[in-house]
Amino acid sequence: MLTADAPVVLLLHGGLDNLAGKTGLAMLRYRQGPVVAVVDPAHAGADLEAITGIARAVPIVADLRAALAYRPAVAVVGLAPSGGQLPPELKADLEAALRAGLHLASGLHTPLGSDPDLAALRGPGQWIWDLRHEPPGLEVAAALASDLPGQRVLAVGTDMAVGKMSACLELTAAARRAGLDGRFVGTGQAGILISGRGVPLDAVRVDYAAGAVERALLEAAAEPACTGDSLFLVEGQGSLCHPGSTATLPLIRGSQPTALLLVHRAGQSHVNKHPRVLLPPLEELIKVLEGVAALGRPGGGSPPRVSAVALNTAGLSEARAEQACAEIGDALGLPCADPVRNEPAADWLLASLRASEGTRTPEWRRHKPLP
């Protein structure tokens, strides 16, 4: 529904400077199409880059009415609050958007389309896209993705919200810069809103979750038909380390990855908001991930390995970030870089990932992540 060229206004009430706005912040960083305005009353009139660090010239306004001057066509809920519920302060701007003839897009668990107040305001031709619902006609996974040509890289994290989507989007961009057929497969609300397709994994019943991922891979492979040179970057969700997460297993089963990309936040020692749940040493977690990924696969092929580490170094200086990447890379014998920091790091990590897929050798050490 959300086309690549549609002018978008992001509704980010109170989320522009914190993780509650991660969906909108991701769209600001990665959406190729136009974002014409951001609604956040707390920062109206402020400079977007000064607040977020994202180098994009987008005005911040106090409400939807003020955003209309920038001629948006779609109002997108950019918040990802805990539990996915609709914040009350958003309701007035959603109603104003519909009155102005705008379409709505939302990844909240609260469906906008079934809200009677919003439904009453929707005019002929207006759509409300609630992307967080289970796709119809799902089947149990059958390892069909294993037959696809090309490489399938699945991002797996040490925690939620460590940068799995960002790493995949940066590596997809790096693949395209290199002239490769890079294809991002979204599995969460932000990834789907940015790419226009994918599967909202947390809205799918557990029996069909792997099948939903499998279908998303098959659909991504079909248009246009993939080849042996195609590279799929599958957005990860959750973590095996998190006591409340169940997403990693269906992602592994459904995508049948040829390689795993471990995503970790530099210096993090425990699961966020669960200080008693310590993260295991990365070496131990890698063994577990590779052991799980070796199961439930057709015979004959090599099981996937963790072939690289994308390290989230946000908040670190350039020197400290480079040191952290080098320390983890040396300890694990794997290429390690922060692909979000700059394009050379992303390009190097992609080249190392492709060169080392299925191996655990020191060959990658012949290259340097930064020029």
Cα 253 off chain centre by: 18
pLDDT at 370: 39
CA distances from 146 to 141, 208, 217, 296, 301 (A): 11, 18, 10, 11, 9
CATH: 3.90.220.20, 3.40.50.720, 3.30.420.40, 3.40.50.300. Which one for 8-130?
A: 3.40.50.720
- Round to whole Å and give the CA distance between 152 and 217: 9
Going from N- to C-terminal start, the domains of the chain cover 8-130, 144-366
pLDDT tens, 125-143? 999 999 999 999 999 999 9
Residue with tokens 């040191």: 323
pLDDT at 173: 96
Written as six digits, the tokens of 236 are 């990860």
Residue by residue, pLDDT tens for the chain (371 residues) are 789 899 999 999 999 998 889 899 999 999 989 999 999 999 999 999 999 999 999 999 999 999 999 999 999 999 976 666 677 788 999 999 999 999 999 988 889 999 999 999 999 999 999 999 999 999 999 999 999 999 999 999 999 999 999 999 999 999 999 999 999 999 999 999 999 889 999 999 999 999 999 999 999 999 899 999 999 999 999 999 999 999 999 999 999 999 999 999 999 999 999 999 999 999 999 999 999 999 999 987 789 999 999 999 999 999 999 999 999 999 999 999 999 999 999 999 999 988 865 433 333 333 344 33
Q: Which of 220, 227, 250 is nearest to 238 (CA)?
A: 250
- Round to whole Å and give the CA distance between 146 and 210: 13
pLDDT at 364: 37
pLDDT at 82: 64
- Round to whole Å and give the CA distance between 134 and 202: 9
Domains 8-130 and 144-366 share a fold: yes
DSSP 145-172: GGGSSSEEEEEEESSTTSSHHHHHHHHH
Written as six digits, the tokens of 214 are 């499998």
Contact 319, 306 (CB under 8 A): no
pLDDT at 360: 37
Q: Which of 292, 204, 276 is nearest to 240 (CA)?
A: 292
130 three-state secondary structure: strand
pLDDT at 103: 98
Q: Which of 105, 135, 131, 160 is nearest to 274 (CA)?
A: 160
57 three-state secondary structure: coil
**In the chain, what's the furthest Cα-to-Cα distance?**
63
Q: What letter would DSSP give residue 19?
A: G
pLDDT at 369: 42
| Residue 115 neighbours by CB distance under 10 Å | 17
- Round to whole Å and give the CA distance between 153 and 170: 13
In 212-299 the beta strands, taken as DSSP E runs, fall at 230-234, 259-265, 270-271, 274-278
pLDDT tens, 294-333? 999 998 778 999 999 999 999 999 999 999 999 999 999 9
Cα 262 off chain centre by: 14
Paired strand residues for 349: none
Tell me the fold of 144-366: Rossmann fold (3.40.50)
Phi, psi for 97 (deg, rounded to 5): -65, -45
pLDDT at 232: 97
Phi, psi for 88 (deg, rounded to 5): -60, -35
